[in-house]
Amino acid sequence: MNTKYNRILSIFCIAVAAVSCNDGFLDCPPRDEMTDANFWQTEGHIKSVANTFTASLQGKYWLNITEIMADSAPWAVTTAFRTIGAGNYTTETSQINSIWKTAYDNIGKTNYFLNNYNRAVKVSEQVRERYAAEAYFYRAFNYWVLTTYFGDVPYITDELSVESADVYRGRDPKKTVVEAITKDLEDHYKSLPEYIPAASAEYGRVSQCAALALLSRIYLYNEMYAEAVNACERAMANRYYGIYSTDKPESDYMDMFNYTARASRNANNNEILLAYVYNYDLGESARTSHNLSRECWVPNDYARFVPTNSMIEAYLTSDGQIWDPSTANSYEDVFKNRDPRMIQSILPPNTPWEGGECGDINNTDNSIFTYPKLINDKRGCMTYSGYYMRKCVEPSTVKYVGHDDNDIIILRYAEVLLNYIEAKEMLGPISQTDLDNSINLLRKRVGMTPLTLSNIPAGSDIRTEIRRERRVELFFEGHRFFDLIRWKQGELLAQDLLGVNKRWLDQSRLSVDINKDLTWKTKDGEQYLLIETGRQFNPAKHYLFPVPFKQMQLNPNLAPQNPGWN
């Protein structure tokens, strides 16, 4: 069996496991008929290879390699990615090598496709170019990941194999890579469908608007602000996509991230541009699922992802002013009169839940959350911060291990609006119309006070508020670590991770002794639950990951190492 046949067989095996909400997305020819001579013949052939590209999005694991490293919703206990976020890693940290290797593995799939798809001469050019545009999209996505984490990286467009000299090439300047991938997207995005309808057989594939959203992200991250605005304006002109709203401000935002409005099943959700789609109902041999909802509300252990105090304090008051922690005198007070997205993202008291016993010894109804559990007695979900996630939790799957098939959102229209207003502000003064066409559309959905140039919160400025809006709206969607790095605010990653304010807890409602059993840190005259200390951020080295030691061993041409890592 030759090498090319092996590669084709491998790709088909992956394609069978490709994610979709319908069987049509998984079409592939019988494996026993595949040979190199007859493979690139039909749309089914090229589509089956294109199906493998979605692995680039990584599904729920994307939150592991992004959110855990940041300061908004880290993993509750020390993990490799939280250690990386704390600046306590080396060139030999295996997870950093994994990021590098995974991206290049995915790039290899797209290169293989792009170097062979035109062999399918029996397939119309329009169809061939549609799938080629998907390949360019995913190649660009992976190079965006690599350049964001590592800076200069080898830009490889050949098939990756030990016979290829390209595999051993040196690193290309980040600017060169960014120019190449943005050109690919600009040149090919119009070969994609204008939109992919929610809940359709094609949902999970790439549309023109998704490609423009990725373009705007890449431009923004690389300080190409005029280009970012232009890409956003083209996406905003799309007739199909917009802000999801059913005129239920108390739940519409939250519902996008649970089963109520997940776009793979709900045809009315036209906000999600691209998601990693799971389907538990496909049957035992084909089903796909994750465990995120249960990880957030583990009924007999500790919650994995936990909101931090800095995230709590990021939400404004309901009238659009900076929240003053000193105005709260109880746990319940923290959630009162705040930006409505707060209680749709972070679990407030007196809310239905499936996390077992809560921390309130006076609560006799385990179906209602009233108080945080601060001890892991295995009878309910313990939290190391004093707070629980609500966003991205589907309550109906919490009781089961690995049954969650909620979509993991990668790109949505809200990000386009936030990319737009940030880039506009970086280019110069913005207008009220700019705010009304971006941030205030997001606030309108939840009934939040609009942001006006004449009513910027006291002690703040418009750039700070645009960045706050991004943090709040895109909370727990994998953006925060990248944002802190590109804003050159790495010092925030060096701060201790803190949880609930001690003064807000009523000892008479808790079984744990808050004075003896918990560790506190004083900040601004108040005591906060200490989650992690010993974090660091050295601006001379930590704005880029090091090139993994293992990769430098395999390819010495990757030298020189990133600054500060020799």
CB neighbours (10 Å) of residue 142? 22
Backbone φ/ψ region at 534: left (φ over 0), alpha (ψ -120 to 50), beta: left
For residue 140, pLDDT over 80 is answered with yes
Regarding predicted confidence, which is higher, 559 or 285?
559
d(CA 217, CA 224) in angstroms, rounded, equals 10
Q: What pLDDT sits at residue 17?
A: 37
Give how far Cα 557 sits from Cα of 105, 385, 565, Å. Answer: 19, 45, 16
Structure tokens at 274: 């691209």
For residue 22, pLDDT over 50 is answered with no
d(CA 492, CA 537) in angstroms, rounded, equals 8
Cis peptide before 29 (omega within 30 of 0): no
Whether 441 and 252 have beta carbons less than 8 Å apart is answered as no
What would the mean pLDDT of 243-264 be, rounded to a whole number? 98
Q: Which of 75, 79, 80, 109 is nearest to 96 (CA)?
A: 80
Residue 358 included in any domain: yes
Give how far Cα 1 sits from Cα of 4, 6, 15, Å. Answer: 9, 7, 20
Query: Which pLDDT band, with edges at 50, 70 and 90, does 285 fall under?
Result: confident
Query: Which pLDDT band, with edges at 50, 70 and 90, does 36 fall under?
Result: low
Residue 99 included in any domain: no
57 Cβ neighbours under 8 A, 6+ residues apart: 141, 274, 276, 408, 410
Q: Which domain holds residue 378?
A: 288-406+497-532
Whether 381 and 299 have beta carbons less than 8 Å apart is answered as yes
- How many domains does the chain fold into? 1
Which DSSP symbol is given to 116? T
d(CA 443, CA 465) in angstroms, rounded, equals 13
Structure tokens at 260: 């109520």
Per-residue pLDDT tens digits for 418-462: 999 999 999 999 999 999 999 999 999 999 999 999 999 999 999
Mean pLDDT for the chain overall: 93
Residue 324 included in any domain: yes
Of all residues in the chain, the percent with pLDDT exceeding 70 is 93
Per-residue pLDDT tens digits for 471-502: 999 999 999 999 999 999 999 999 999 999 99
d(CA 493, CA 500) in angstroms, rounded, equals 19
Structure tokens at 272: 């999600």
Regarding predicted confidence, which is higher, 38 or 237?
237
Residue 208 included in any domain: no
What would the mean pLDDT of 218-242 be, rounded to a whole number? 98
Per-residue pLDDT tens digits for 302-337: 999 999 999 999 999 999 999 999 999 999 999 999
d(CA 281, CA 283) in angstroms, rounded, equals 5
DSSP 283-321: -TTT---B-HHHHHS-TTSB-SB---HHHHHHSPBTTS-
Using CA atoms of 98, 104, 108, 110 in order, give the dihedral in degrees to the nearest 10. 110
17 Cβ neighbours under 8 A, 6+ residues apart: 286, 288
Residue 138 included in any domain: no
Per-residue pLDDT tens digits for 86-116: 999 999 999 999 999 999 999 999 999 999 9
Residue 420 included in any domain: no
What would the mean pLDDT of 119-129 be, rounded to a whole number? 97
Q: What pLDDT sits at residue 418?
A: 99
What would the mean pLDDT of 362-370 be, rounded to a whole number? 97
Whether 123 and 39 have beta carbons less than 8 Å apart is answered as no
Per-residue pLDDT tens digits for 183-213: 999 999 999 999 999 999 999 999 999 999 9
Helices and strands (DSSP H and E) totals, the chain: 18, 7
Q: What pLDDT sits at residue 283?
A: 86
What would the mean pLDDT of 375-382 be, rounded to a whole number? 97
What would the mean pLDDT of 335-349 be, rounded to a whole number? 98
Whether 307 and 296 have beta carbons less than 8 Å apart is answered as no
d(CA 479, CA 482) in angstroms, rounded, equals 6
Burial class (CB in 10 A: 0-12, 13-18, 19+), 477: buried
Per-residue pLDDT tens digits for 46-99: 999 999 999 999 999 999 999 999 999 999 999 999 999 999 999 999 999 999
Structure tokens at 166: 């390209």
Whether 387 and 307 have beta carbons less than 8 Å apart is answered as yes
Regarding predicted confidence, which is higher, 174 or 566?
174
Q: Which of 11, 209, 44, 41 is nearest to 112 (CA)?
A: 11
For residue 386, pLDDT over 80 is answered with yes
For residue 11, pLDDT over 60 is answered with no
Q: What pLDDT sits at residue 74?
A: 97
d(CA 166, CA 156) in angstroms, rounded, equals 6
In sign, the C-alpha dihedral spanning 377, 380, 381, 382 is negative
Structure tokens at 406: 């909620």
Burial class (CB in 10 A: 0-12, 13-18, 19+), 300: middle
Residue 440 included in any domain: no
Q: What pLDDT sits at residue 9?
A: 38
d(CA 147, CA 154) in angstroms, rounded, equals 10
Burial class (CB in 10 A: 0-12, 13-18, 19+), 145: buried
